[in-house]
Structure 1
Amino acid sequence: MGALTGHQAGIELTTIYEISKILSSSLDLNKTAREVLGMLSSHLRMRRGMVSLVQPSGDLHVVEATGMSAEAARRGRFRRGEGITGKILATGVPMVVPNVAKEPLFLNRTESRSLAEGRVVAFIGVPIKVGRETVGVLSVDREMDGEPGNFEADVRFLAMVANLIGQTTRLHNNVAAEREELMQRQYRLQKELQGKYSLDNVIGHSKRMQDVFAEVHQAAPGRSTVLLRGESGTGKEVIARSIHYLSPRKLAPFIKVNCAALSETLLESELFGHEKGSFTGATQERKGRFEMAQGGTLFLDEIGEISPLFQTKLLRVLQEREFERVGGNKSIKVDVRLIAATNRNMEEDVAKGTFRADLYYRINVVSIFLSPLRERREDIPPLIEHFLDKFNKENERKISISPAALAVMLKCNWPGNVRELENCVERTATMTRKNMIQELDLPCQQNKCFSQVLQHYGQAQLAIPIPVVSAPIVSVSSGASMPEVSGSSFGEATAGEDPAFMTERERLVWAMEQCGWVQAKAARLLNLTPRQIGYALSRYNIEVKRL
């Protein structure tokens, strides 16, 4: 190119600017390299440009070229130190061959240059570096046409271009490495989830759960909508995930939505998405859960809680498999399998008119019923063992449970089912100071069982109406005997039993039974202080039961 004129310097500056825009426009390295070579050819009259990069084998391959055929480019392969291009890779130093016809080291491996007598072709090559490491070579040919051979400006310019290509290569390698790591992590998580939610790892040895597992295996391969029914805490989400990971959709997303946790407006936006500006705060377009679950499974938990108006919108989506985003008018088709769950009596809701009959029939294609834990008590010991193992791993402890404590837990009603059992095991294991849970460590043996308090509180409220007009008449003698309580303050107590006709001891036992043997509650029922009722229990030698 010789000494730079003002015009040439302007062309180079413009070319560098355009090349930087090309390299930042895409992460497709081959595409950007091809466009850069085209820019060099058109702006600076450089012909037969090549971008060669080091491959995993260590050899240098031409990845993009201009001014030569694809077959010629495929022949452009060099080992480190081989020929001029290999020497640039080995030394990391730019090299210039003023006349390739007179250079014995020049291999002309691509056979794309015409070395006929009288035509002088110069070769200019500069290293492409990432940091201090040479990862490739940028090379161009120029036909000299009798021009003087001063290549200093060419080398300087190409070095700037090679530096930009090196930065793009580094970014490309980083993105490729992150993508590979992400894919590996996703694969590991997928395998872990499949293992975790495969039915082989769902605990349930009882006949009822084995029947559920058989139904899951039967329903999973199909496309039918599944309705999971059962009390809260029976493991409906675990079963839903198992259905997904046993189905052909296992590699696609599993998306869950708790319908009871969102208002009607939020639920519509959450499921269907919204367009930009569709409501206050909608600053950008947002995909809904249906779109996110494309090709996979959408799990709608607590579906019985959705409003009648939203039931109509959901019914259309399930029938047509298409919807519009909030604020949009474009129909979006989706391929999603629906799994719904509820703890409500759907038939009763349909009869009352609070749940649409047509939606009920649409979601109730395959019904799977999960039994409460109290009806499959043989599953309690393995569940306790599983939750203890989980606690021990997370907290680096070695806690086990005694046979006596296990016997107490087997007798519990577990109104909160598996969720309550897990919480009870975790709470007890956390608070115990030894390596074995004993009977007295259990919350129910310390009058600290939450579900027991709730249960007996509800029973007490139903069995003993609170008087509105008159308060109970209580008299406490100087000898601190059991207070006399007028029968009118208790109303209808229990079937056929009126506290007014009971002895003091019988009234005390009756009150303790009504309150689940919680002394503080029995004291409030009899309008006593905890100290007074404790003294009365001791005086009458009444043993406090541990439920």
Structure 2
Amino acid sequence: MSTHPSTSTLVRGLSMQQQLNALHQISVVLSRSLDLEQTLAAMLQSLHEQAQMQHGLVSLFDHNRSALFIQAMHGVDPEVIKDVKSVRYRMGEGILGTVMHQGHSLVIPKVADDPRFLDRLNVFEYGLPFICVPIPGVDSSPIGVLAAQPLSPDEESLPARTRFMEMLANLIAQTVRLVGQAHRESEALRSERDSLRRKVRHQYGFDNMVGQTPSMRQIFDSIRQVAKWDTTVLVRGESGTGKELIANAIHYNSPRASGPFVKLNCAALPDSLLESELFGHEKGAFTGAVKLRKGRFELADGGTLFLDEIGEVSASFQAKLLRILQEGEMERVGGSETISVDVRIVAATNRNLEEEVRKGSFREDLYYRLNVMPIQLPALRERLEDIPDLARFLLQKLSQKQGRELKISDGAIRMLVGHSWPGNVRELENCLERAAIMSETGLIDRDVVLFNNQEHQKPGLLPTALPMLPEGEESDLDERQRLIAALEKCGWVQAKAARMLGMTPRQIAYRIQIMNINMRRI
């Protein structure tokens, strides 16, 4: 049974209600997808079925190539569509090019009678009319052309059908603009994402890992190797040694670098919250669970999960953690659905896990599951040779943060090397930031270096033993640094420093003023 309307119906043309219904149906189709080609093809199909307009096509103007190219066409074999898209119309060329150039609709009562009709597509019926309308742009210049053939040769219905096509062209124009805007925004987001990824990858690249001691070079080699694989890594070391930095370096130099990097401090939450945080929860699982929430494992799917302070997890929670590490499966709190996740685990601890296993406070099977590839970070006091490079590297970061150039004197470096650094690299970074704040000129000298606990300083470790009085023994220090060293030796009492250096208190005070030395209050 034919689905086409009868000739009498076609002669009468579309009623106002039919036009409204057709426009409504087509507007729904146009709002369905951001795939412009797919959307326009579905719209042209609705144009045929709802408004009895066959061989519909939409062509858009390409400013780079200065021509119209067909974006979508209905009633043509899919294989033919590929050839159709290579057909182009320049401004003023053929019916489509004429409408694009003039900017107003063109109606041909009978295709065979108009010499401008080029028939490059070889699909239109010569005995039927042809309606071609411009798709308006924001500045009144057309952005393309909409064309179709009525199923009926009735000329009386052509004005109404043309108005209908013009209304449809307006809807298409909005869709093209919205899709274009969405694609531009999406492209901008992709560009920003890629830029951030490059920035983060550079930030955590091996070039930014400072250390020349044999132990650190061995660690960098281990990271390069383990980053290539999905092996579970256990980063061990005292607080402040840079365990999270190592985890970042492993992720951003791995095949998972484009995936998420999710981290959680296991010591920061009690078991009840830790389970919900890691595994997520279903709506209504407990009081306050007003909606479904994904856990860190789900969020890290396809990427890396960094579990910091893993040694602080209670024995009761360790069993729950072990299952997902072994099977890659879990259930949300309050749920029964088993969820599979693909997550690479990097854990970190400052505890002696072997001792914890012996005491029975840490599961042996979990220990072996985590300790596949251990990386032991040395304390800063065990690699004092790296302090000069570390200090300059951290000062470079501070310079960018403060927007000014920061420098450090050799005397200040010697002072840093003489400290025991119980807080490791984190303490060094805090110490340098304090010194940078105290320095008005941007030069970090001994007078602005303040440690967290002065009793941890070991002056005997300084490369120069600083016997302060004989100037010849400190020939490698300039006058300002010799004065600061003397003041330090004398507890920052100017009179004592003057006697030590064979100067008067007035001379000392004058030099303190002109050398801009920051006097400590002891």
Q: Same fold, TM exceeding 0.5?
A: yes
Range with bigger deviation, 299-308 or 265-274? 265-274
What per-residue deviation string (whole Å, max 9, x for no partner) do you get for residues 47-68 of structure 1?
1111122345333222222223
Distance 1:21 1:267 in 2: 46
Candidates 57, 61, 64, aligned match of 2:72: 64
Displacement of 1:242 in angstroms is: 1.4
Q: Is the 8 A contact 2:11 2:152 kept in 1?
A: no
CA gap 1:17/1:4 in 2 versus in 1, 3 angstroms:
farther
* AA at the equivalent of 1:220: A
Q: Which residue matches 1:257?
A: 264
Q: Tell me if structure 1 keeps the 8 A contact 2:435–2:444.
A: yes
Number of positions where the alignment pairs a residue of Structure 1 with one of Structure 2: 452
Q: Alpha-carbon deviation of 1:427?
A: 1.2
Residues 1:390 and 1:455: Cα distance change in structure 2 (over 3 Å): closer
Aligned to 1:171, the other structure's residue is in SS state: helix
TM-aligned CA deviation for residue 212 of structure 1: 0.9
TM-score by length of 1: 0.77
The one of 37, 57, 62 aligned to 1:30: 37
Work out whether 1:136 is the aligned partner of 2:138. no
Q: Give, in angstroms, the shift of residue 204 of structure 1.
A: 0.9
SS at match of 1:338: strand
1:304 match = 311
Residues 51-91 of structure 1: per-residue CA shift (max 9 Å, x gap): 12234533322222222333554334322321111122222
CA distance in structure 2 between the aligned counterparts of 1:85 and 1:7, rounded to whole angstroms: 25
| CA deviation map 1:420-458 (0-9, x unaligned) | 111110111012122322212122xxxxx43447999xx
Partner of 2:452: 450
1:346 positional shift:
1.1
Tell me the equivalent position of 1:12. 19
Matched, 1:240 2:247: yes
2 CA distance for matches of 1:17 and 1:196? 53
d(CA) in 2 for partners of 1:51 and 1:393?
53
Unpaired runs of 5+ residues, structure 2, are 1-7, 459-490, 493-519
Contact 2:391 2:428 in 1 (8 A): yes
Match of 1:314 among 317, 321, 324: 321
Q: Which moved more, 1:217-226 or 1:365-374?
A: 217-226
- SS of the aligned residue for 1:368 comes to strand
Check whether the contact 1:197–1:245 (CA below 8 A) recurs between aligned residues. yes
Whose radius of gyration is greater, 1 or 2? 1
Quick check: 1:4–1:153 contact (8 Å CA) kept in 2? Answer: no
1:82 aligns with 2:93: yes
Aligned partners of 1:2 and 1:152 also within 8 Å: no
What SS does the aligned partner of 1:121 have? coil
Partner residue, 1:412:
419
Identity %: 46
Deviations 1:453-476 (A, max 9, x none): 7999xxxxxxxxxxxxxxxxxxxx
Does 2:218 correspond to 1:211?
Answer: yes
CA contact (8 A) 1:130 1:169 kept: no
Residue in 2 that maps onto 1:189: 196
Q: Which deviations, in whole Å up to 9, do the C-alpha atoms of 1:110-129 show, x marking residues without a partner?
A: 101233xxxx3111111123
Pair 1:452–1:23, CA change in 2 (3 A) = farther
418-427 or 121-130, which deviates more: 121-130
Matches within 5 A, 1:371-386: 371-386=378-393
The corresponding residue for 1:123 is 130
AA paired with 2:24?
Y
Q: Structure 1 pair 455/411, CA: closer, same or farther in 2 (3 Å)?
A: closer
Distance in 2 between the 1:402 and 1:172 partners?
A: 58
Q: Within the alignment, does 1:179 sit opposite 2:186 as a pair?
A: yes
Residue 358 of structure 1 corresponds to 365
Aligned equivalent of 2:54, options 26, 32, 47: 47
Shift of 1:263: 2.5
Distance 1:59 1:89 in 2: 10
- Structure-2 separation of matches of 1:372 and 1:121: 87
How far apart are the structure 2 equivalents of 1:58 and 1:310?
66
Q: Does 2:408 correspond to 1:401?
A: yes
TM-score (norm 2): 0.81
C-alpha distance in structure 2 between counterparts of 1:405 and 1:46, whole Å = 84
For residues 318-376 of structure 1, what are the alpha-carbon distances to aligned partners after superposition, in whole Å with 9 as ceiling and x for unaligned? 11111112222111112211110011121222222222111111101111100111110
- Cα distance, 1:58–1:330 mapped onto 2, change above 3 Å: farther
Contact 2:37 2:72 in 1 (8 A): yes
Structural RMSD (CA): 2.7
Secondary structure, counterpart of 1:277 in structure 2: coil
SS at match of 1:221: coil
CA distance in 1, matches of 2:210, 2:168: 63
Output the amino acid matched with 1:267.
L
How far the C-alpha of 1:2 sits from its partner, in A, is 12
Distance across 1 between alignment mates of 2:71 and 2:190: 25
CA–CA distance in 1 between the matches of 2:65 and 2:297? 45
Contact 1:72 1:110 in 2 (8 A): no
Q: Given the alignment of the two structures, is residue 100 of structure 1 paired with residue 111 of structure 2, yes or no?
A: yes
Q: Deviations over 1:290-338 (max 9, x none)?
A: 2222222111111111122221111000111111122221111122111
Could you tell me how far 1:234 is from its partner in structure 2?
0.5
Contact 1:2 1:149 in 2 (8 A): no
Task: Work out the CA distance in 1 between the residues paired with 2:382 and 2:15.
Answer: 89
109, 120, 124: which one aligns with 1:109: 120
Q: Please give the secondary structure, in 2, of the residue aligned with 1:279.
A: coil
Partner of residue 160, structure 1: 167
* One-letter amino acid of the counterpart of residue 222, structure 1: W
Which deviates further from its counterpart, 207-216 or 67-76?
A: 67-76
Check 1:455–1:302 CA distance in 2 against 1; reply closer, same or farther (3 A cut): farther
Q: 1:437 and 1:112, CA in 2 relative to 1: closer, same or farther beyond 3 A?
A: same
For 1:80, the aligned partner's letter is M
Unaligned 5+ runs, structure 1: 444-448, 457-516, 519-544
Residue 141 of structure 1 and its aligned partner are, at CA, apart by 0.4
Pick the aligned partner of 1:324 from 308, 331, 341. 331
Cα distance in 2 for partners of 1:47, 1:4 equals: 16
Aligned partners of 1:7 and 1:397: how far apart in 2?
73
